[in-house]
Amino acid sequence: MKFSLLGRLQTLSPAQALVTYYAVAILIGALLLRTPLAVKGEPLSFLDALFTATSAQCVTGLIVVDTGTRFSLFGQGVILLLIQVGGLGIMTFSVYLFIYLRVGISARGRWIIHETLMHTPISSWRELIKGIFLMTLVIEAIGTALLSLAFVPRLGLAEGIYSALFHSISAFCNAGFSLFPDSLVGFRDDPLVNLTVMSLIILGGIGFLVIRELRQILTTPKRQKNKPRLSLHSRIVLSTTAFLIAYGTICLFFLENGHSLAGMSRLESFWTALFQSVTTRTAGFNTIELNSFRVPTLFLMMFLMFIGASPGSAGGGVKTTSLALFFAVLYSRLKGSPHISLFRRTIPDDVIAKALTLVILAVILMGLALFGLLIVHPQSAPGAEEREFLNFAFEVVSAFGTVGLSTGATASLGEWGKGIIIVLMFVGRVGLLTVAFAIAGRTRRHAPRYAEENIMIG
């Protein structure tokens, strides 16, 4: 039986292996959260434990029970471990373990790491994985130290440091889990908390290799010849991220200036708009009650959640590079150019096709999920259908983008509704194309090509 199971695992395609690893981690986490040691009071139902484990492992942040009051220290530790494993990637841990045991990296491990972290080949896999772990520990340690300065005076030494550690890991992994019932609303006017959490979210959302390239550039002496330069991938990620943060902040500020931001000082309004613009893309923290936002603002947030973070990062969504490629395709086609170019570099056609396919699949999946939620949810009271539709649409985009923001629909989900959101969170974290490849099986390299024939478009 043991050899048969190992044999089956070895025959899995890389995509199937990645899906299996994530699913097993979620199941183990759900079983641990189901134990009496993990909760205060009555044990969770298996569905609620599975929902929480999936949300933590997929670094989403959607919750059906309050993390700080419902879970014990052991339960919070399980959630934190799932967040860390999900943020770094389950195979990153596995490959690091193989390196530590000097077993070596298999072809499957290289493929998964390449799909998760890489855009160009590197010379040393060992240095890559070790660098990721060291960088993560350093960033989260600095975040913990800075947040402790704000949390310890309010909560005491032990609880303050623990809360700082929890929120530092949750922020860097773009998870959005908080020990406070109101997330970070109580720290809305605290510049230290705002800047620290936003910095952690941005660093966790741009991708490990982008941080690595930035560090190499910043630490290289100015007089050295052949200085390292940012790759095309890093340029696209950094420019698109900066644009989305600025665009979201400006729009949120002007849309809500006379509404949810009314009564705040200019500085507090700016902090709130900036923080929400950063966290909406994939993190899931909030410093203001989302139900106070106007409908156009919620629609803007759905757009930001749909885009999400960057490839090779802890976040979800269709990724910033897909947005950049989408506009590059649009611009090139309007100019009549046969090639897609960014920063004086031509993008391969297969990369363009992959990005467009990802966006189309994401829209179809979210449409089906929203349709399913509306079917399984009990009929609403007359007059409440429009707001409920918006709440469920917001919930669907938040789950797929592994964001974790909610306007309150999570608490009203039934069993089937929770199941739909669980699937969305899982697919959003593992990756739509990875799940599609896992279902479809191995790729056919020599597919038949038939005669061409044109059709009408538009």
pLDDT, one tens digit per residue, over 289-331 is 888 899 999 999 999 999 998 887 888 889 999 999 988 988 8
Distances (CA, A) of 207 to 214, 240, 321: 11, 13, 12
Residue 387 has what pLDDT?
Answer: 76
Tokens of 48: 């609620």
CB proximity list for 298: less than 8 A, separation 6 or greater: 290, 390, 394, 407
Say which residue the tokens 């669980």 belong to.
422
Tokens of 148: 């402790």
Say which residue the tokens 């669907």 belong to.
396
Distance CA 449, CA 382 (A): 54
Among 11, 8, 41, 49, residue whose Cα is nearest residue 422: 49
Contact 315, 282 (CB under 8 A): yes
Distance CA 118, CA 72 (A): 38
Residue ranges of the chain whose pLDDT lies below 50:
1-3
Distance CA 100, CA 159 (A): 34
Residue 355 has what pLDDT?
Answer: 86
Residue 39 β-bridge partners = 71
Q: How many CA atoms lie within 13 A of 399 on its CB side?
A: 30
Tokens of 26: 């979620």
Residue 267 has what pLDDT?
Answer: 85
Distance CA 181, CA 196 (A): 20
Residue 399 has what pLDDT?
Answer: 93
**Strands 341-342 vs 345-346: parallel, antiparallel or unpaired:** antiparallel
Distance CA 112, CA 354 (A): 17
Say which residue the tokens 């079983």 belong to.
31
Tokens of 303: 């757009």
Distances (CA, A) of 282 to 81, 87, 214: 19, 12, 22
What sign does the dihedral 66-69-74-77 (CA atoms) show? Answer: positive
Residue 1 has what pLDDT?
Answer: 47
Tokens of 271: 């902090």
The per-residue pLDDT for range 442-454, each reduced to its tens digit, is: 555 566 777 777 7
Distance CA 244, CA 414 (A): 34
Distance CA 444, CA 448 (A): 10
Q: Report DSSP state, residue 292.
A: G
Please give the model's pTM, rounded to 2 decimal places: 0.88
Tokens of 114: 């390449």
Residue 455 has what pLDDT?
Answer: 73
Say which residue the tokens 């967040």 belong to.
83
> 345 in helix, strand or coil?
strand
Distance CA 77, CA 33 (A): 10
